[in-house]
Amino acid sequence: MVATNPHLLGLLVACWALYLVVLGVWIVLQKREPAATLSWLLGLALLPYLGFLVYHVFGPQRIRRNRLRRSHNRAMMQSPQIETEQGEAAELVRLGQATTGLPATSSAEVTLLVDGAAKYTAVLADIARAEHHVHLEYYIYEPDHTGAALRDALVERARAGVRVRVLLDFVGSSASRRFFTPLLEAGGELAWFHPMRFGRFWQRPWTNLRTHRKIVIIDGRIGYTGGMNIADQQDERLRSDAYRDLHMRLVGKSVRVLQLVFAEDWAYATGQRDFLAEVKRQTPPADAGPIRTQVLTSGPDSNWEAIHRAHVGAIHSAKTRVWMTTPYFVPGEAAMMALTSAALAGLDVRLLVPQVSDSRIVTLAARSYFGELLLAGVRIYEYRSRLLHSKTLLVDDHLALIGSANFDHRSFRLNFEVSVLFDDTGVAAALAQHIESEFAHAPRVQRGRRRPLLTARLPEALARLCSPLL
């Protein structure tokens, strides 16, 4: 027994070395940020074999949807006349077009909806008037009071002959197919984004690649998007601790582009390749509106991180102020450089985050960045009334960015997200008024505050080490 131990030990060491070499080459060849690459390599080294399973399921990966993104498919949904690139954000709009393939467009109306009461009331009223189709895409759909009310509204329209399609994330949504049985029996359709698959072992699962988008399209004329899911947890009428969130209602040509985003996701999830042509017939033309609009999408099917680039580009373009709200704040180097540079240049830079988010490690990681930001002159506020869930960026008096994307690595790289960039003083003024009202519930974080080593500084530093993996 003793004689064989050295041989067994040598075999284990050789297997471990081979494991590190093979996985190391695989990860290094992906050419991602050095910090993220080194973090994964360290994790794999400390967790032999188990680390491979973790990386196989949760590690960064790309998926191919090129067949759904060919120019002729998108041209089918675009209006014959593309909006001209005007306004102070023309460069950002061109960036958005280049990174997403989506055209510059416009909106006739943009209504900001604060919290669930405003959003759900408006959505249900518009669905009740639907005549042709209702399309929904959500990350979280709960089978609770809010979810049942929306389902029943969809059932009523489906029975009236309206085409109803619901696309839900398989991991995020707990509403089951059984919950939607009344809708299916009424003629509605239900699909799941990236359901669990059990194929060949070398086919990496999509467990970590979710659609975080929140989209509602009604008759191709009215669109909704923003940060709110479908859950009682987001309705202050039902829960005193409901999330504090922001959504928006759009009317105009921009709805046509949101329709395209949904159509591509539906075709990808269901395999219905002719769906784009069907949607084109269902989407009426719209006149150009006064509000310059650029729809932005990002996800693991693109290397360009369009929403991330739009944030950083907008911050760099600022002349007077940069105000941001986000529930998750885990910035990369480019974003930190942009924020601190703006503050050092004397701009009014403010960051509004929840005092405690629904993820302890993300809360700790976010606070690890506070010291550098405060030193540069960024004013940081921690929202304490409820959990802040809105994702917005306000730049100067004309630029507003609102959507589903958090300011973190997951939203910028792993999730399928949608945000909307507005170059319009009216939308910017409405967003500024909303954010300013939030500061009343968010005490300012002060420099020189007491930060105990074991309960604050060390946990935050350790959480920051994990930030490239979050």
Q: What's the one-letter identity of residue 282? A: Q
72 catalytic residue (yes or no): no
- The catalytic position among 119, 212, 253, 398 is 212
Q: What is the DSSP letter of 410?
A: I
Instruction: List residues bridging with 249 in a β-sheet.
Output: 111, 224
- The catalytic position among 115, 235, 396, 423 is 396
- The catalytic position among 389, 408, 423, 424 is 389
308 catalytic residue (yes or no): no
- The catalytic position among 115, 169, 219, 265 is 219
Longest dimension (CA), the chain: 84
Q: What's the one-letter identity of residue 152? A: D
Q: Which of 298, 260, 302 is nearest to 282 (CA)?
A: 260
Tokens of 294: 């650029």
* Separation CA 149–CA 183 (nearest Å): 12
- The catalytic position among 133, 214, 247, 280 is 214
What value, to the nearest 5°, has the Cα angle with vertex 406 and ends 401 and 407? Answer: 85
* Separation CA 325–CA 313 (nearest Å): 17
Positive or negative, the CA dihedral 230, 439, 370, 322 is positive
* Separation CA 263–CA 274 (nearest Å): 10
* Separation CA 282–CA 303 (nearest Å): 31
- The catalytic position among 391, 398, 423, 424 is 391
- Residue position matching structure tokens 């479908």: 230
Helix (H) or strand (E) holding 354: strand 348-354
Q: Which of 144, 128, 173 is nearest to 237 (CA)?
A: 144
Q: Is 155 exposed, middle or buried (0-12, 13-18, 19+ CB in 10 A)?
A: buried
Query: In 3-state terms, what secondary structure has residue 411?
Result: helix
358 catalytic residue (yes or no): no
391 catalytic residue (yes or no): yes
Catalytically active residues, by annotation: 212, 214, 219, 389, 391, 396
